Structure 1
């Protein structure tokens, strides 16, 4: 019994010695200055074999003679290679052509050993004897250590059983998540991405998932995006969307979302059925928000292409996203609203489809003051509404019928600063769409609110407020309502003080006063105001609109006096 244990330890020692010799040879190869390309190729093969033998150490080989034979043969080749390496370091070879030939021969031998090791794993001779723990280099390790670690993991993926592949993928995912330097190592070792991409088509969903998770991380780096595309990753990523488990689908969607930030990749996603797969995910009633969110994100990127928008609409996207706009998850809500907004861009036909599918009503429900939606969601919905509706008088009419103006003034009075400013911008734009919109804004009390903004610290806010008012007072009933409050006219005249910083657009302020002169009460209140001198000063300074206003007021005073004399 003691002799058997001793023999077993001896064989294990032989395996350990081979691993150490391989490591030593790899280190020596870095100091070789000649035949760089050939030695780089040989070093990659050495690293693969080294990782494979380390994996053998972590397996129960049952004292298999096939492994013994592999280790013995490999040791012979390592010894030969070590001699070649030493001669290259010392420049002691007899001729370049002969050395190149010798290096090609030794490279082929290592290929044969790697193939044999793969055959051993494929045959199921080895089984994992205990939990595989791969030692990752400490933080701040040198680049070569990181490259070696990545290469070791990839070797395990290539030759290991399902459990070893899964653990190697998990460890690689942890590495790239915690330290982006490992991403650089993957980019440098181009074949790594090809190996990971191939696992996306694994029949085992956990391996698919592990591969998709690694790809999702590295796709966030520009140095790797083209590598992923070059490895043909999009097609298998779409297949994971179609048949993978839910975590795998989520990782795949996140990866595609990053890759489709470049619209050139959008066509590839569509060509492999990605749009249909993503829409199917979004339409599933029991699908988690964590998956729907990135799926919507990919589709949102694809809407940058006109043909994609049309195809999505034909595939039922409008109905799907109208329903998702009611989601309780903020990310899903925002993404679905943005998709509805994007899909209608510049397309009257799709916009009509959105209206028929109830998309506008869904957006209006989001901005109802009583809805539990976040400010960010409301902002998104408000922007979508103005983008979709303000170019069409009929759609503006729908908004007015559905209390849009009431919601808008609520946010202007009570919203957070960002929502309040957006409500003001939308009110300004709405006031320029139609006379009906101007009347609705006036009836809702917008003019009183806009007057408050005329004295705002923000120049942009002051400009928007005076622009909206100048348009609204063109409507007779708004003009009458505005003139009823003496403070309104007084403030406009005060803002025209030439000695003060310009508080708004002077031309528009004067246009408001000019509109008010069309009514008797408006003229009277302007003429009787103690601040009329501000307009007179501007007229004396040759400001054309001020001169025009003073002339109008003077003519009307003269006419009044004339009528008084006539009736005397």
Structure 2
């Protein structure tokens, strides 16, 4: 290029750059002035939103050294004229010197339409690629203790980049938005207050062409949903349907993020209907059926479905869609978390619903749950505990299930955990056995035949008070069966142990009641009465009777037959 031509080109470029700088400064000045306007507040809020987008976008173009672009210079010229007009309207609104409200409203509508057009033009300029992440100047994140105005400006800048930046810039802006809302709660309120951010996030959930954009949007939404008050805002912006589409068609990371968001949203039962209405139940079940779904995604889908179960109509729809069989199959998974989530779901959906319980049984669910208790399998203690809980909830209220459990070997497995399990599993097995005792005579006989009586006696003297009381309750139920009474009396130390455990004054009244109930039951046979009398602890029984403990008084009366009266009298008055 000849030297003279080069100098002329340089000379022409400088005014354009200067015009761009002046435009940015005038935008900033007008934004400040707009905060002073007290009339037509909604109109000026919309105008200010466009001004902030333009300010951020033009500042980035200036920093990228792209002012020579003819499209930029044309936009700046048109914008400068409109800014002069805007400044005049703003001053008239501040001074209340306009001629009429209707006319001013019309002028402001025209002004807003012009700024909308400039934002669109700026977006088109960005799409041509003149501003790239390599040379773009990014507004720095405000430091700790920054003013709300600085934080708001930063969010506005991010919104501008989300709207008019290229794909890489959009991703960076979304990542920065996630970062600030995740780190600083104050940004969450600003994000919700700044018009357009929430709607932009909803829009990016449909950005299926670039999975990373969709994933970043889901992350930002999930961070905002940490706050209950934000849920209504996002639901109002139409967030549920796009989240379900991500769950259906998004990347693996996008699906997981979407499920997390739906989990948070469905904590509110009001949103359950919206999820169901948009096909969410079907989409969630497909995730669980799909053999290619990762464990984490399946567990999240389980969690969302569990949140929907309390709505009766939705629960029925799940059953019709095959949820019961799906989760019975998943409960056989070799992945610990999937097993746990599946068992929790089955327990939840069948809770207080006999029809669904029977369906679980019919589809082989109980056999699967019992198999989880097999000590030869490599299964976590937590999974076994959940399986025990589920068996209790699903079966113990249905008498017909007890025989089924016996035939599946449940009694022997339960006894194994009572004898050899970890402490937490032992205690749970004891509670389950105690509840099983209360279901039927057949259950008591089955537990007695399996060898539970010595274990219940062993736990009577445990360190944990709760464990002692549970064992005493189970024992008092077991000895109501004559065959179990004989088993109990075969061990000479058993009666003496019960009598000794009654001695401490601080012993809880409920615990004493179960012990006395057991003693009362064995007085129905001669051998039981004799062992009580010969236990060496009759004075304890006398003290309890004198203290008006009704069960003790009944027991004393039962022992005071002709055959034992003289013996008792001699003992009590010695």
TM-score, reference length from structure 2: 0.89
Report whether the alignment pairs 1:121 with 2:123: yes
Write the deviation string for residues 24-68 of structure 1: whole angstroms up to 9, x where unpaired: 332344455565444433322221222332344466858332321
Listed as ranges, the matches of 1:238-317 within 5 Å are: 238-317=244-323
Listed as ranges, the matches of 1:152-551 within 5 Å are: 152-206=157-211, 207-497=213-503, 499-502=505-508, 504-551=510-557
Write the deviation string for residues 533-562 of structure 1: whole angstroms up to 9, x where unpaired: 21122223343322322222231625999x
Tell me what 2:570 maps to.
none
CA–CA separation in structure 2 for the residues paired with 1:436 and 1:227: 57
The answer to whether the 8 Å contact 2:17/2:68 transfers is no
CA–CA separation in structure 2 for the residues paired with 1:76 and 1:99: 23
CA–CA separation in structure 2 for the residues paired with 1:382 and 1:15: 72
The answer for unaligned runs of 5 or more in structure 2 is: 1-5, 568-574
CA–CA separation in structure 2 for the residues paired with 1:377 and 1:367: 9
CA–CA separation in structure 2 for the residues paired with 1:445 and 1:7: 100
Tell me what 1:112 maps to.
114
Further displaced range: 534-543 or 246-255: 534-543
Write the deviation string for residues 55-102 of structure 1: whole angstroms up to 9, x where unpaired: 44466858332321211222233344345556666x4x535x558855
Further displaced range: 418-427 or 248-257: 418-427
The answer to whether the 8 Å contact 1:498/1:537 transfers is no
The answer for unaligned runs of 5 or more in structure 1 is: 562-568
Displacement of 1:500 after TM fit?
4.3
Displacement of 1:312 after TM fit?
1.5
* Paired residue secondary structure (1:518): coil
* Paired residue secondary structure (1:370): coil
Structure 2 CA distance for partners of 1:10 and 1:440, relative to 1, 3 Å: farther
Further displaced range: 428-437 or 106-115: 106-115
Aligned alpha-carbon RMSD (Å): 2.8
Listed as ranges, the matches of 1:72-111 within 5 Å are: 72-83=77-88, 85=90, 91=95, 93-94=96-97, 98=100, 101-102=103-104, 105-106=107-108, 108-111=110-113
CA–CA separation in structure 1 for the residues paired with 2:273 and 2:180: 32
CA–CA separation in structure 2 for the residues paired with 1:118 and 1:136: 26
CA–CA separation in structure 2 for the residues paired with 1:140 and 1:325: 50
The answer to whether the 8 Å contact 2:23/2:76 transfers is yes
CA–CA separation in structure 1 for the residues paired with 2:160 and 2:227: 24
CA–CA separation in structure 2 for the residues paired with 1:545 and 1:513: 10
* Paired residue secondary structure (1:391): coil
Displacement of 1:262 after TM fit?
0.8
CA–CA separation in structure 1 for the residues paired with 2:379 and 2:18: 66
Residues matched between the structures, number: 558
* Paired residue secondary structure (1:174): helix
TM-score, reference length from structure 1: 0.90
CA–CA separation in structure 1 for the residues paired with 2:287 and 2:195: 32
The answer to whether the 8 Å contact 1:49/1:114 transfers is no
Further displaced range: 221-230 or 25-34: 25-34
Structure 2 CA distance for partners of 1:408 and 1:17, relative to 1, 3 Å: farther
Displacement of 1:118 after TM fit?
1.2
Displacement of 1:485 after TM fit?
2.0
